[in-house]
Amino acid sequence: DAGVTQSPTHLIKTRGQQVTLRCSPISGHKSVSWYQQVLGQGPQFIFQYYEKEERGRGNFPDRFSARQFPNYSSELNVNALLLGDSALYLCASSFSGDYGYTFGSGTRLTVV
Amino acid sequence: GQNIDQPTEMTATEGAIVQINCTYQTSGFNGLFWYQQHAGEAPTFLSYNVLDGLEEKGRFSSFLSRSKGYSYLLLKELQMKDSASYLCAEGGDYGGATNKLIFGTGTLLAVQP
């Protein structure tokens, strides 16, 4: 069975650009959460989606947005990239937003 | 507030036992998680405690005391492959998000021969 898949695995962007990260949850999982992990820190919660609706949002600026599609896959968008947005972006899926989180391998974003 | 504290680094010897402590302060507590994360990889689930006491799973055990806001992860018979970052995370229903995880900064464990 495929786990949580994220694309791309690595990405380099320039300050001011926009980026879209993608996540496909485990088959049957209806909830997707996004986390940002800066080097040397623990992951920080960005968004949670369940059944295509936003369930919660972390302390991130409006430059960060996300959505969930009918097939439960999800996209995270970040506009007007800053150097500080350089991080590993992790997607986690679960059946109903419960504690059975499975993380994907992440997308390593570097902003130069 | 929401504040999770764990040591930044620890060193232990192959074959030994190591205990990684974690303290938390928050309301809406809904369980304490431990994840293992190797460099450049995704966190992988190790344990979940919601009630006080010890949960044992092979070489790994996790303990929770809700009254003290305290947990620890115990690793026995350490192997070189156990060298990784160990993340303590608190789960709770915050701001509408069900079971949002709040992570500590992680404890980088180095296992030496």
How confident is the model at residue B1, as a pLDDT?
39
* CA pair distance B99, B19, nearest whole angstrom: 26
What is the per-residue pLDDT across A86-101, written as a single tens digit (0 to 9) for each?
999 999 998 876 677 8
* CA pair distance B48, B61, nearest whole angstrom: 10
* CA pair distance A58, A74, nearest whole angstrom: 17
What value does the mean pLDDT take over residues A54-83?
A: 95
**Strand runs labelled E in A1-112:** 5-7, 10-13, 19-24, 31-37, 44-50, 53-57, 64-68, 74-78, 87-94, 102-103, 107-111
Please indicate if any CB of chain A lies within 8 Å of the CB of B48.
yes
Res A16 pLDDT > 70: yes
The residues pairing with B9 across neighbouring beta strands, listed in sequence order, are B108
How close is the nearest chain B Cα to the Cα of A97, in Å?
6
How confident is the model at residue B27, as a pLDDT?
67
Q: What is the dihedral of CA A96, A98, A104, A108, to 10 degrees?
A: 110
Smallest CA-to-CA distance from B104 within B1, B5, B2 is with B5
How confident is the model at residue A67, as a pLDDT?
96
Cβ within 8 Å, pair B31-A104: no
DSSP state at residue A72: S
The residues pairing with A35 across neighbouring beta strands, listed in sequence order, are A45, A90
| Omega before B113 within 30 of 0, i.e. cis | no
Please indicate if any CB of chain A lies within 8 Å of the CB of B31.
yes
What lies within 8 Å, CB to CB, of B78 at 6+ separation is B12, B13, B14, B15, B16, B17, B18, B111
What value does the mean pLDDT take over residues B105-109?
A: 96
Please indicate if any CB of chain B lies within 8 Å of the CB of A64.
no
Going by pLDDT thresholds of 50, 70 and 90, the confidence category of residue A61 is very high
CA atoms within 13 A on the CB side of B89: 29
Going by pLDDT thresholds of 50, 70 and 90, the confidence category of residue B28 is low
How close is the nearest chain B Cα to the Cα of A49, in Å?
8
| Percent of chain A topping pLDDT 70 | 96
What is the per-residue pLDDT across B5-27, written as a single tens digit (0 to 9) for each?
999 999 999 999 999 999 997 66
All residues of chain A having their beta carbon less than 8 Å from the beta carbon of residue B43 are 43, 90, 103
What is the per-residue pLDDT across B52-96, written as a single tens digit (0 to 9) for each?
999 998 999 999 999 899 999 999 999 999 999 999 998 876 655
